[in-house]
């Protein structure tokens, strides 16, 4: 089995994200991770939330071996074998696949804007009643000063690919609303990132 790839950024932010997950999630449940990448997040979260079952996925076939290797190193029994999942696909999984959490980190700014609408629609289809979508990464916000680092990062992304770039949180909210989701909570995170919690608009109960 190949040695896992390593992301320094994922290593730095995994604990702050887990700290928030422990605040907003119940003790047990099932989670679908979109764009698992190196697998570092899912391995860390599965270890820190052992009563949750985790389904990692990625659009890149080559990433699946990397995720599996990362999970295997930790010997985690609550992580399923990674699946290939393209967020743009009209059908992610069987219609009856339901999750208490859908988690997606650092995808929206390094993929075309159309992936945002697809993420919201797919999440709305596969969230169990009371389930949450959590997104993490850099965002711009109306009326909120933006760090010089985020502005430089945004510019560098757009140079690499004109379809990339840090997204305006309010634009993401509009796409979520079209899919029947609402912003339930906003958590400021280290290094000028945000963790956003999304719930169904027809759910009156706040996250636990």
Domain of residue 128 covers: 96-202
Contact criterion met (CB below 8 Å) for 63 and 40? no
Residue 29 lies in a domain: no
Q: Are residues 127 and 187 in the same domain?
A: yes
My answer on whether 105 and 158 are in the same domain is yes
Do the domain assignments include residue 91?
Answer: no
Q: What are 41-94's pLDDT values in tens digits?
A: 999 999 999 999 999 999 999 999 999 999 999 899 999 999 999 999 999 999
Are 47 and 122 within one domain? no
Structural domain contains residue 14 = yes
pLDDT at 2: 38
> What residues contact residue 196 under an 8 Å CB cut-off, 6+ apart?
134, 135, 136, 139, 169, 172, 183, 185, 186, 187
Number of domains in the chain: 2
Q: Is residue 1 part of a domain?
A: no
| Residue 2, domain member (yes or no) | no
**Which pLDDT does position 184 carry in this prediction?**
97
We report the CATH number of the domain holding residue 132 as 3.40.50.150
| Residues 61 and 136 placed together within one structural domain of the fold | no
DSSP 208: -
Q: Is the pLDDT of residue 30 over 90?
A: yes
- Give the model's pLDDT for residue 196: 98
Q: Which residues, including other chains, have CB under 8 Å from residue 129's CB and lie 6 or more apart?
A: 200, 203
For residue 203, what pLDDT band results from cuts at 50, 70 and 90?
Answer: low
Q: Are strands 193-200 and 52-58 parallel, antiparallel or unpaired?
A: unpaired
Residues 82 and 100 in one domain: no
pLDDT, tens only, 97-140: 999 999 999 999 999 999 999 999 999 999 999 999 999 999 99
Do the domain assignments include residue 30?
no
- How many C-beta neighbours within 10 Å does residue 147 have? 11
One domain for residues 129 and 175 = yes
pLDDT, greater one: 203 or 17: 17
Q: Are residues 150 and 198 in the same domain?
A: yes
For the question of whether the overall pTM of this predicted structure is more than 0.85, the answer is yes
Task: Tell me which of 46, 66, 86 is where a domain ends.
Answer: 86
140 and 62 belong to one structural domain: no
């Amino acid at each position: 089995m190949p040695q896992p790839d390593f992301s320094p950024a994922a290593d730095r932010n995994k604990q702050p994200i887990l700290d928030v997950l422990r605040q907003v999630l119940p003790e047990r449940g099932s989670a679908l991770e979109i764009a698992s990448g190196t697998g570092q997040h899912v391995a860390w979260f599965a270890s820190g939330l052992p009563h949750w079952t985790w389904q990692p996925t990625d659009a890149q076939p080559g990433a699946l071996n990397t995720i599996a290797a990362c999970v295997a190193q930790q010997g985690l029994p609550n992580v399923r074998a990674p699946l290939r999942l393209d967020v743009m696909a009209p059908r992610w999984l069987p219609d009856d696949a339901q999750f208490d959490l859908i988690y997606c980190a650092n995808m929206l700014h390094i993929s075309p804007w159309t992936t945002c609408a697809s993420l919201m629609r797919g999440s709305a289809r596969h969230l169990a009643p009371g389930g949450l979508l959590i997104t993490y990464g850099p965002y711009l916000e109306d009326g909120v000063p933006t760090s010089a680092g985020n502005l430089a990062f945004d510019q560098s992304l757009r140079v690499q690919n004109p379809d990339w770039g840090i997204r305006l949180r309010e634009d993401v909210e509009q796409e979520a609303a079209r899919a029947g989701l609402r912003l339930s909570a906003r958590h400021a995170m280290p290094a000028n990132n945000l963790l956003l919690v999304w719930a169904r608009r027809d759910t009156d109960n706040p996250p636990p």
